[in-house]
Amino acid sequence: DGGITQSPKYLFRKEGQNVTLSCEQNLNHDAMYWYRQDPGQGLRLIYYSQIVNDFQKGDIAEGYSVSREKKESFPLTVTSAQKNPTAFYLCASRQGDIQYFGAGTRLSVL
Amino acid sequence: AQSVSQHNHHVILSEAASLELGCNYSYGGTVNLFWYVQYPGQHLQLLLKYFSGDPLVKGIKGFEAEFIKSKFSFNLRKPSVQWSDTAEYFCAVNSNTGNQFYFGTGTSLTVIP
């Protein structure tokens, strides 16, 4: 069953803590994306990667980091520098000009 | 940078009413346009897309959208909504030479039975 798998579904972060959100795809897509979704603000791009070992900052990259060591995986780390991390995070892969989305991870701060 | 504006933030309709959701974008070049839908508890999924050709495009579940280049618009329409259309709808754009997609703020549609 092909698709984008994000885990965990819910995540809680303590003050000063780094947390990592997982995104895995078995669609053999080269490009992958991370978005943040906040109420009334739509989807905003955090980072994207066109190929393995390469990634670019999106519009709101501050306080986040990514890696792309494997084609299938594009984890996102929310660092302690991100002062307002509470949001819904969506991962996507891309084939041609169409994006395919995961189910999302909801991150909350304790 | 490109941007996308969705004029309606919350729309409430009765079943069988007609729907039109506005979407305008800012970009001077050639663009690809999309409408995505997020049903409650489900993945964001593609509703329809426009790349080129006939400016009136049809998508799944009876939705259609019209690209009007002179107005930089890509409005979503459905002649008769159903309760199952209750969802959040996002307009998106990317340039046909670019890697980034730009999304609107979304429109929450509630259809009352």
Reported as a single tens digit per residue, the pLDDT across A34-76 is: 999 998 888 999 999 999 999 999 999 999 999 999 999 999 9
* pLDDT number for residue B99: 85
* pLDDT number for residue B59: 93
* pLDDT number for residue B1: 65
> Are B11 and B65 spatial neighbours (Cβ–Cβ below 8 Å)?
no
Low-confidence ranges of chain B (pLDDT < 70): 1, 96
User: In angstroms, what separates the C-alpha of A85 from chain B's closest C-alpha?
Assistant: 19
Report the mean per-residue pLDDT for chain B: 93
User: In angstroms, what separates the C-alpha of B88 from chain A's closest C-alpha?
Assistant: 10
Q: Is the pLDDT of residue A1 over 70?
A: no
Q: Is the pLDDT of residue A2 over 70?
A: no
Cα nearest neighbour of A41 on chain B: B105
Out of A41, A58, A102, name the one closest to residue B43 (CB).
A102
List CB contacts of B39: < 8 A, sequence separation 6 or more.
B45, B86, B87
Q: Which of A69, A74, A2, A1 is nearest to A35 (CA)?
A: A74
